[in-house]
Amino acid sequence: MKHLRKQIAGYLLTLILLMAGIVFPGSGEKVLASGGSMTVHFLDVGQGLSILVQSEGQNLLYDGGPRSASSYVVSYLQEQNVSEIDYLISSHYDEDHVSGLIGCLNAFQVDNVIGADYIHDSSLYGSFMDAVAAHGLEVQHPAVGAEYTFGSGEFTILSPKEISKESNANSVAIKLTNGENSFVFTGDADFNCEADMVNSGLDLSCDVLSVGHHGSATSTSWDFLQAAVPEFAVISCGAGNMYGHPHADTMEKLSDMGIQVYRSDEQGTIVASSDGSAITWSADPCNDYTSGDGETAGQSEGEKGFTAEDNSGTDAAAASEKSEQIAAADDSQEEMVWISATGSKYHSIPDCGNMNPDKAYQEPVSQAEAQGYEACKKCF
């Protein structure tokens, strides 16, 4: 009787709370969806980098590609109805990034220019500075962690922490956020620059990573990749480029982590559209993990062929007994490994990196190796 009364009192209390509109914690977390749209265009500029971001009438241009692509970049922006560039960001002053920015400074109204604080010994650097000055502007050198609102989202400066003699290591990297979606652009940032980003304590996690330095092996360290854990990687490089970009090391890491890949050398210009909660793409990822330097990521050495034993005489029985023992041991101890839906590696866990655990399946390690899979360097 006492219990029943207690129960009724409990129900009444719940009813009153519900009527008062008190929502139980955890029953519906508020999501900060921006509701705005943001479009990220990875322009096919050949061997170089140029990314246009548009949101709520604002435009951000991150690098402008090489000289050879300068007129393409200007006409592409015009086709997207760009007349004013709110933020023009030069990752660093190498020709394949800064050249096209000069063309854009000449063709459009520009409000803010962001770049690294070093002097590059080239006439292009001088032309870029002249073009910035012609707008009555100066290049801004924001500190790591600086935040800017842009369109329906914002972007944060991730690097450079300090200026180095290496042009690439001075790259201005940014993280762009729109609601729940995020993109990281790192220019040609190298391992050192990436380590600074990881150590900065800034949140590097993202949905989409513009792979550093066109997929060179001097960028995309394990530490950085594990801090970013992107679902998609976009590589901007020229078909058959003389540097062999993207390099096998980088492609192997992306493959190991089950990161889906877009490549400008195979797919041309690629466009990602974010509505604040989901990203839609202009094309499916090519997921081609082949490197540009002739090596193939995940290529196996080929199976080691068995040599036929000389099973003559009395040794035959002993030999066969021995092989039976080995087979029995294999049966009982055969390690099971995880295979992801994409990629060329086998894993010790079903959710290594970015692999989809729902699509992963298990099989014996010997079978995986016979099929050409190799051990993932991250989880083995």
DSSP assignment of 325-340 equals HHHHHHHHHPPEEEE-
Residue 190's nearest CA partner among 164, 169, 162 is: 169
Q: Which of 44, 96, 194, 256 binds Zn ion (CB under 5 A)?
A: 96
Give the separation between CA 285 and CA 143, rounded to whole angstroms.
Answer: 34
Question: Judged by CB under 5 A, does residue 168 bind Zn ion?
Answer: yes
Using CB under 5 A as the binding rule, whether residue 94 contacts Zn ion is answered as yes
Asked whether position 188 contacts Zn ion by CB under 5 A, the answer is: yes
Query: How many residues interact with Zn ion (rule CB under 5 A)?
Result: 4
Does residue 275 belong to the site contacting Zn ion (CB under 5 A)? no
User: Residue 173 CB, nearest distance to Zn ion (Å)?
Assistant: 13
**Nearer to Zn ion among residue 41 and residue 120 (C-beta):** 120
Query: Residue 83 Cβ, how far from Zn ion at the closest point, in Å?
Result: 28
If the CB atoms of residues 188 and 252 are measured against Zn ion, the closer one turns out to be 188
Identity at 100, one-letter amino acid code: G
Task: Rounding to the nearest 10 degrees, give the CA dihedral for residues 177, 233, 240, 223.
Answer: 100
Binding mask 282-311 for Zn ion (x = CB under 5 A): ------------------------------
Q: Shortest approach of Zn ion to residue 181 CB, angstroms? A: 25
Phi (first) and psi of residue 55, to 5 degrees: -160, 125
Q: Which is nearer to Zn ion, 69 or 379 (CB)?
A: 69
C-alpha–C-alpha distance, residues 264 and 273, integer Å: 17
Q: How far is the CB of 160 from Zn ion (least distance, A)?
A: 13
- Apex 15 CA angle, 9 and 18, nearest 5: 145
The smaller minimum CB distance to Zn ion, of residues 100 and 103, is found at: 100
Return the range that interacts with Zn ion (CB under 5 A); candidates 35-43, 114-122, 164-172, 173-181. 164-172
Cβ at position 93, least distance to Zn ion in Å: 8
For 166, the token pair is 């290496």
| CA-CA-CA-CA dihedral for 215, 75, 159, 244, to nearest 10 | 20
Residue with tokens 């087979």: 327
CA distances from 327 to 160, 373, 375 (A): 56, 22, 22
Which chain residues interact with Zn ion by CB under 5 A? Answer: 94, 96, 168, 188
